[in-house]
């Protein structure tokens, strides 16, 4: 019954995996193009040629690039992301805790921002061109126009420094009580919400307004439905695909785009980890984090595609 | 102007001095308010059907929708009283209006395919208003809906409600929409061109179903159409409108048999142009030989072994319902859809199947005119640029020479040189189609393919276009391949006719022979489905049919 759907979904997943493979090649190639190699980075500028040669032999850096690529890829597939050069720590272990922190922050930012954006979008359509719509759109535009670091510092200034409601530095540690943790992430989560809210809200509004031109909206009006019922029951279900798309894009941003916010609030997440190790020229870590970010991005976009396919009654119920 | 008698107790709808205005934004001018409906009054008794007829812009739909206090887009009801069941609905406020929509008055739209929400099952949409207004519980409403589906002769009435709109054909959707309107047992239904978008063979079924449903439920109706023959089948009275003003109002028999106004007479007699068939004496310059064509990589065969000839300076009409392969034949001839088998010969040589294999001169000889003139032109180009383009492209004309030729062509299409600097948006539907004709003529082609070129136009305007095409044929000796589903048009313009059904030519020959009995079953169905301006035609036609239509 749903064979065309299954086929489409299988296509999307296969395409996503292929894309991820291509990205891994790109990441690997990119780090190879950089001047100097791992041995040079470890031993520093003053290393003797003999010491370099020994270390290269030890790390297997003399093998051709494609061999090293497959060795790296094989490690990634078996959960071995390698060892960080700077700290000699296992990257997978280090990333484990930080990825969880990033997801925790992204989750709470998403829980607040997605429903809020959609509700505000619906309200803006219901009172379109009125003062409510203009206020919502204006505030949304203003919050997008401000750079995220500015929003972050603004929050820190008012909530941490002036009124001292929330901490300005979001320190979290293992075994921290839940409420403490929530209090710690309040400001970065708010900043993230403000950053992604406007985009989602405006796209929701635009998608629904587009559907509001349809003849079936007139049919609903002529049945005597109230304006809000019309939007909820007749317009929104047909606008769901573009809305899901923009929601997923922003979810991806919440996970991979938090670098700036994490640095501002000194939050121990993936973004901060990445920035730290870029500064230390720790190539294996940069590779690993880049690959994980790419996987998250591609994965969420596949989910958006699949959701859009499933939301289409023409595909769900073929003739 | 006969005022129909309105008995007080039976009075359902009483519209008095209705005035409707809209704000328009003409290109390059300041917005201004125009009046769409000028002080029109009408009355409708319970259980009666009033037909509203006129060309586009006459205000038919606007008046129909005013009975639900609804104005499309920027349309506003600015004056008059709309008294429904004894009260002025405009004084009821938003709540009052919402309470009557879908309860006392229901609406059937022209395109049910667009008017149903693609995201919900039909049944949920059919019973929505009944449940909303508390007319029935969901179970009762669904039971009533199934009964209505059965009455409207929908297939599988128990289960059709479980389908989504895209899973049901256009004719069936139109009937489901009628069931949706009837489901909440309203006092009045506004039918807004409910059969206009359908094939002629499907229209007759839907029309019969609507008529029977109106009779059996005793609902009153405003039946809006531009086709007087259709309106005459279902209405007790007919109101003729033009430019938002009342022209004539009377009983159906009086309007079609003894029209009192000149405009009404023009509407009644619009269909026929006497066209003498040309003798098939010359040899054909374009022959389609055993062409088979398919979409989706050969899976869906849309043309099966089709052969037709086109004679110089003559018209071949291709008729059939939608999906019969008429337009695909045009695409095969022009090279847009390369045939899988068969060949097309032109002036003694075989034309390349694919567009890329044809020379520029081959392309010049075959021109096309489309149904939708407004989307066939670049809205940002002036009429002069549009008509001048083929002159530059095919003949390398420029400057004064081109401008002179454009002016000549504008004269030929009876539009005058003043239009050179106008944009398509400033033209009426008929004028746009004339510009498209001039553009095709500019290439000096031997054949113009006309794909439903009059279908989107009002009858009187369409008539003007047909006369223009006939005149140009006499002057320029150009041949036409005239694709249409309208048999009246065929009679007016064709020299020979090919009847197509499911990708095959089922009947082909000179007009006089094709239209002479005995008919094959499909041609008979097609001919007998064309509405005639005759009271009782519908019943006669239905009882006399030999086969059911394919696409209902």
Residue A40: pLDDT over 80: no
pLDDT at B397 over 60: yes
Smallest Cβ–Cβ distance between A216 and the set B99, B117, B167 belongs to B117
pLDDT over threshold 60, residue A1 = no
From B110, which residue of chain A is nearest by alpha-carbon distance?
A215
Chain A CB contacts of B141 under 8 Å are none
Question: Å from A219 to nearest chain B CA?
Answer: 6
CB A284 within 8 A of CB A82: yes
Phi, psi for residue A82 in degrees, rounded to 5: 95, -170
Select the residue of A215, A313, A317 nearest B111 (Cβ to Cβ): A215
Write out the two tokens for A177.
């009580």
* SS3 (DSSP) at B260: coil
Predicted local distance difference test score (pLDDT) of residue B314: 92
> Using an 8 Å Cβ cutoff, are B56 and B428 in contact?
no
Instruction: Give residue A48's pLDDT band: very low, low, confident or very high (50, 70, 90).
Output: confident
Confidence of residue B3 (pLDDT cuts 50, 70, 90): very low
Kindly list the residues from chain B whose CB atom is less than 8 angstroms away from the CB atom of residue A220: 117
Q: Which range in A229-238, B260-269, B316-325 is most confidently predicted, on average pLDDT?
A: A229-238
pLDDT at B229 over 60: yes
The Cα A92–Cα A207 span in angstroms is 41
From chain A, the residues in CB contact with B100 under 8 A are 224
Which is more confidently placed, B29 or A5? A5
Question: Number of A:B CB contacts under 8 A?
Answer: 71
Question: Could you report the per-residue pLDDT of B316-341, keeping only the tens digit for each?
Answer: 999 988 778 888 899 899 988 888 88
Token couple for B417: 């040189």
Provide the pLDDT for residue B2. 39
**Closest Cβ opposite residue B129 in set A214, A216, A223:** A223
Q: Is B131 at the interface with chain A, CB within 8 A?
A: no
Q: Is A32 on the interface with B (CB under 8 A)?
A: no
- Please report residues of A whose CB lies closer than 8 A to that of B167: 317, 319
In the three-class reduction of DSSP (H, G, I as helix; E, B as strand; rest coil), residue B57 is classed as coil
**Tens of pLDDT, residues B534-550:** 888 898 888 877 666 55
Q: Does B354 touch chain A (CB under 8 A)?
A: no
Facing residue for A226 by CB, picked from B98, B119, B164 = B98
CA angle B163, B168, B172 (to 5 degrees): 115
**CA A145 – CA A161 distance, rounded (Å):** 24
CB contact under 8 A, B129 and A224: yes
Q: Is the Cα dihedral B277, B278, B284, B285 positive or negative?
A: negative
Chain A within 8 Å of B25 (Cβ-Cβ)?
no
* Whole-number pLDDT of residue A220: 95
Query: What's the DSSP call for residue B2?
Result: P
Question: Sorting pLDDT into bands at 50, 70 and 90, what band is B426?
Answer: confident
The 10s digit of each residue's pLDDT in A56-94 is: 887 777 788 888 888 888 888 888 888 887 777 888 888
Can you tell me the distance from the alpha carbon of B406 to that of B389, in angstroms, rounded to the nearest whole number?
10
Q: pLDDT at position B297, please?
A: 67
pLDDT digits (tens, 9 = 90+) for B477-534: 999 999 988 887 888 889 999 999 988 999 999 988 998 888 888 888 888 888 888 8
**Contact between B109 and A313 using a beta-carbon 8 Å cutoff:** no
How far is B259 from B238, CA to CA, in rounded Å? Answer: 11
Per-residue pLDDT averaged across B4-33, rounded? 78
- Compute the nearest-CA separation of A184 from chain B (Å): 43
Q: Check B111 against A221: CB less than 8 A apart.
A: no
Q: Are the CB atoms for B381 and B425 separated by under 8 Å?
A: no
**Residue contact A222–B68, C-beta within 8 A:** yes
Is residue B6 predicted with pLDDT exceeding 50? Answer: no
Alpha helices in B382-494 (DSSP H): 383-395, 399-412, 429-442, 459-476, 487-493
B73–A contact, CB cutoff 8 A: no
On the question of pLDDT at A218 being above 90, the answer is yes
Query: Would the CB atoms of B115 and A216 count as touching at under 8 Å?
Result: yes
Q: What are phi and psi of A143, to 5 degrees?
A: -70, -30
Check: CB of residue B108 under 8 Å from CB of residue B207: no
With beta carbons less than 8 A apart as the criterion, state whether B364 and B302 touch. no
Which of A24-33, A88-97, A160-169, B35-44 holds the top average pLDDT? Answer: B35-44
Q: Does B99 touch chain A (CB under 8 A)?
A: yes
CA distance A107 to chain B (A): 30
pLDDT digits (tens, 9 = 90+) for B99-111: 999 999 999 998 8
* Token pair belonging to A113: 């921002």
CA gap B514, B122 in Å, rounded: 42
B458 Cα to chain A: minimum distance (Å): 22
pLDDT at residue number B552: 47
Top residue of A222, A230, A308 to mutate, by most chain B CBs within 10 Å, is A222
Q: In this predicted structure, which of B6-10, B397-401, B492-496 has the lowest mean pLDDT?
A: B6-10
Task: Give B-chain residues touching A224 at CB under 8 angstroms.
Answer: 97-103, 129, 132-133
What is the pLDDT, as a whole number, of residue A173? Answer: 83
Using a CB–CB cutoff of 8 Å, tell me whether B129 touches chain A: yes
Q: What is the ipTM of this complex?
A: 0.80
Q: Return the residue matching tokens 């033209």.
A: B427
Other C-beta atoms lying within 10 Å of the C-beta of residue A179: 8
Binning pLDDT at 50, 70 and 90, where does residue A143 land?
confident
pLDDT of residue A18: 95
Closest to A232 (Cα-Cα) out of A98, A102, A93, A122: A122
Asked if A80 has any chain B CB less than 8 Å from its own CB, the reply is no
pTM attached to this predicted model = 0.81
Of chain B residues 233-252, which have a CB less than 8 A from chain A? none
Q: Does A235 touch chain B (CB under 8 A)?
A: no
Residues B138-196 pLDDT 10s:
999 999 999 999 988 888 999 999 999 988 888 889 999 999 999 999 999 999 989 88
Q: pLDDT band at A257, cuts 50/70/90?
A: confident
Give the C-alpha separation, B76 to B517, whole Å: 53
In tens, the pLDDT along A94-121 reads 888 889 999 999 999 999 999 999 999 9
Which residue of B68, B113, B128, B174 is the best one to mutate when testing the A interface, meaning the one whose CB has the most A CBs within 10 A? B128
Question: Is A222 part of the contact surface with chain B (CB cutoff 8 Å)?
Answer: yes
Interface residue B101 vs chain A (CB under 8 A): yes
Predicted confidence (pLDDT) per residue in B45-100, tens digit: 999 999 999 887 788 999 999 999 998 877 889 989 999 999 999 998 899 999 99
Contact B70 A223 (CB under 8 A): no
Interface test with B, best of A207, A224, A313 (most B CBs within 10 A): A224
Q: Does residue B193 sit at the A interface (CB-CB below 8 Å)?
A: no
Which residue stretches of chain A are H helix?
A: 3-33, 38-43, 49-59, 65-77, 91-126, 131-145, 148-155, 178-211, 215-222, 227-229, 236-256, 259-264, 270-279, 283-311, 313-316
Among B62, B119, B124, the strongest candidate for a mutation testing the A interface, having the largest count of A CBs within 10 A, is B119
Would you state the pLDDT for residue B27?
65
Task: Judge whether B516 is closer than 8 Å to chain A, CB to CB.
Answer: no
User: Would you call B419 an interface residue with chain A, using a CB distance cutoff of 8 Å?
Assistant: no
Q: Do B68 and A237 touch (CB under 8 A)?
A: no
CB contact under 8 A, B100 and A224: yes
Measured between CB atoms, does B169 come within 8 Å of chain A? no
Calculate how close chain B gets to A241, using CA atoms only, in Å: 12
**Chain A residues with CB-CB distance to B120 below 8 A:** 234, 237
Q: Flag if B103 and A224 touch (Cβ within 8 Å).
A: yes
What is the distance between the alpha carbons of residues A229 and A22, in angstroms, rounded to a whole number? Answer: 46
- Mean confidence (pLDDT) of chain A: 87
Q: Report the residue from B100, B101, B164 with minimal CB separation from A313.
A: B164
Instruction: Tell me which H or E stretch contains B173.
Output: helix B170-183
Chain B closest-CA separation from residue A200 CA (Å): 22
Would an 8 Å CB–CB cutoff place A219 in contact with chain B?
yes
Can you tell me the distance from the alpha carbon of B188 to that of B12, in angstroms, rounded to the nearest whole number?
8
User: Phi, psi at residue B188, to the nearest 5°?
Assistant: -145, 140
Q: How confident is the model at residue B5 (pLDDT cuts 50, 70, 90)?
A: very low
Question: Six-digit token pair at A28?
Answer: 């690997």
Q: What is the CA angle B478-B480-B482, rounded to 5?
A: 165
- Residue A58 is predicted with a pLDDT of 78
Considering A297-311, B117-131, B455-469, B500-514, the range whose residues carry the highest mean pLDDT is B117-131
- Interface check for B72 against chain A (CB to CB < 8 A): the answer is yes
Scanning B74-137, the segments in alpha helix (DSSP H) are 93-100, 112-115, 122-132
Task: Give the residue from A2, A208, A219 with the most B CB atoms within 10 Å of its CB, the best one to mutate.
Answer: A219
**Average pLDDT taken over every residue of chain B:** 88
Distance between A203 CA and the closest CA of chain B, angstroms:
20
3-state secondary structure at position A43: helix
| Whether pLDDT at B223 is above 80 | yes
C-beta atoms of B166 and A313 within 8 A: yes
Asked if pLDDT for residue B298 goes beyond 80, the answer is: no
Helix (H) or strand (E) holding B208: helix B200-217
Cβ contact B132–A224 (<8 Å): yes
């Amino acid at each position: 019954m749903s064979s065309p759907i299954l086929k489409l979904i299988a296509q999307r997943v296969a395409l996503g995996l292929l894309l991820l493979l291509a990205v891994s090649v790109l990441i690997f190639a990119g780090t190879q193009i950089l001047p100097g190699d791992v041995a040079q980075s470890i031993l520093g500028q003053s290393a003797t040629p003999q010491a370099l040669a020994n270390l290269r032999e030890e790390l297997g850096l003399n093998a051709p690039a494609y061999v090293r690529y497959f060795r790296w890829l094989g490690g990634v597939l078996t959960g071995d992301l390698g060892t960080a050069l700077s700290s000699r720590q296992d990257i997978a272990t280090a990333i484990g805790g930080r990825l969880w922190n990033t997801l925790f922050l992204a989750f709470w930012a998403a829980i607040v921002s997605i429903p809020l954006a959609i509700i505000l979008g619906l309200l803006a359509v219901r009172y379109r061109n009125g003062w409510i719509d203009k206020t919502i759109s204006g505030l949304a535009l203003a919050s997008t126009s401000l750079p995220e670091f500015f929003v972050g510092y603004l929050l820190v200034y008012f909530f941490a420094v002036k009124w001292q409601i929330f901490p300005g530095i979001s320190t979290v540690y293992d075994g921290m009580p839940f409420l403490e943790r929530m209090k710690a992430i309040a400001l970065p989560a708010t900043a993230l919400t403000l950053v992604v809210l406007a985009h989602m809200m405006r796209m929701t509004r635009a998608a629904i307004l587009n559907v509001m031109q349809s003849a079936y909206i007139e049919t609903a009006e002529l049945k005597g439905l109230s304006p809000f019922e019309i939007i909820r029951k007749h317009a929104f279900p047909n606008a769901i695909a573009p809305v899901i798309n923009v929601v997923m894009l922003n979810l991806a941003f919440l996970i991979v785009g938090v670098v700036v916010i994490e640095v501002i609030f000194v939050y121990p997440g993936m973004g901060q980890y990445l920035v730290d190790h870029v500064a230390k020229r720790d190539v294996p870590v940069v590779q690993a984090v880049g690959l994980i970010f790419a996987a998250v991005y591609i994965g969420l976009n596949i989910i958006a595609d699949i959701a859009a396919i499933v939301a289409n009654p023409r595909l769900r119920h073929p003739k | 102007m006969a005022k129909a008698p309105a008995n007080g107790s039976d009075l359902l709808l009483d519209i008095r001095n209705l005035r409707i205005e809209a704000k328009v934004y003409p290109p390059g001018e300041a917005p201004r308010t125009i009046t769409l409906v000028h002080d029109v009054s009408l009355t409708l008794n319970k259980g009666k059907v009033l037909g509203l007829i006129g060309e586009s812009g006459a205000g038919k739909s606007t008046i129909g929708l005013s009975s639900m206090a609804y104005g499309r887009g920027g349309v506003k009801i600015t004056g008059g009283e709309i008294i429904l069941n004894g009260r002025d609905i405009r004084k009821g406020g938003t709540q009052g209006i919402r309470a009557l929509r879908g309860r006392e008055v229901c609406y059937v739209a022209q395109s049910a395919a667009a008017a149903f929400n693609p995201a919900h099952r039909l049944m949920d949409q059919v019973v929505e208003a009944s449940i909303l207004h508390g007319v029935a519980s969901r179970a009762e409403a669904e039971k009533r809906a199934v009964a209505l589906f059965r009455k409207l002769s929908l297939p599988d009435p128990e289960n059709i409600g479980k389908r989504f709109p895209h899973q049901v054909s256009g004719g069936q959707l139109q009937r489901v929409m009628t069931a949706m309107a009837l489901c909440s047992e309203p006092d009045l239904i506004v039918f807004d061109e409910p059969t206009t978008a359908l094939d002629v063979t499907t229209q007759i079924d839907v029309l019969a179903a609507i008529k029977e449903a109106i009779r059996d439920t005793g609902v009153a109706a405003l039946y809006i159409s531009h086709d007087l023959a259709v309106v005459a089948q279902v209405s007790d009275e007919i109101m003729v409108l033009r430019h938002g003003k009342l022209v004539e109002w009377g009983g159906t028999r009086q309007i079609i048999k003894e029209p009192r106004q000149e405009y009404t007479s023009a509407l009644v007699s619009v269909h026929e142009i006497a066209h003498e068939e040309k003798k098939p004496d010359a040899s054909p310059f374009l022959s389609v030989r055993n062409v088979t064509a398919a979409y989706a990589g050969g899976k869906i065969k849309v043309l099966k072994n089709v052969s037709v000839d086109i004679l110089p300076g003559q018209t071949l009409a291709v008729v059939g319902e939608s999906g019969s392969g008429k337009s695909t034949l045009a695409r095969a001839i022009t090279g847009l859809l390369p045939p899988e088998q068969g060949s097309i010969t032109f002036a003694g040589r075989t034309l390349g199947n694919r567009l890329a294999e044809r020379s520029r001169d081959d392309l010049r000889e075959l021109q096309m005119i489309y149904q939708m003139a407004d989307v066939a032109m670049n809205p940002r180009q002036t009429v002069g640029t549009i008509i001048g383009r083929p002159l530059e492209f095919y003949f390398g004309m420029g400057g004064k020479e081109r401008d002179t030729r454009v002016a000549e062509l504008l004269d030929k299409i009876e539009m005058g040189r003043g239009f050179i600097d106008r944009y398509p948006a400033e033209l009426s539907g008929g004028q746009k189609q004339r510009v498209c004709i001039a553009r095709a003529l500019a290439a000096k082609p031997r054949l113009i393919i006309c794909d439903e070129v009059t279908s989107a136009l009002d009858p009187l305007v369409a008539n003007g276009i047909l006369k223009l095409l006939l005149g140009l044929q006499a002057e320029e000796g150009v041949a036409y391949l005239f694709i249409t589903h309208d048999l009246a048009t065929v009679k007016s313009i064709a020299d020979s006719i090919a009847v197509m059904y499911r990708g095959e030519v089922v009947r082909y020959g000179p007009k006089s022979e094709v239209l002479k009995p005995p008919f094959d079953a499909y041609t008979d169905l097609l001919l007998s489905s064309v509405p005639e301006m005759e009271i009782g035609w519908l019943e006669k036609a239905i009882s006399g049919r030999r086969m059911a239509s394919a696409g209902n």
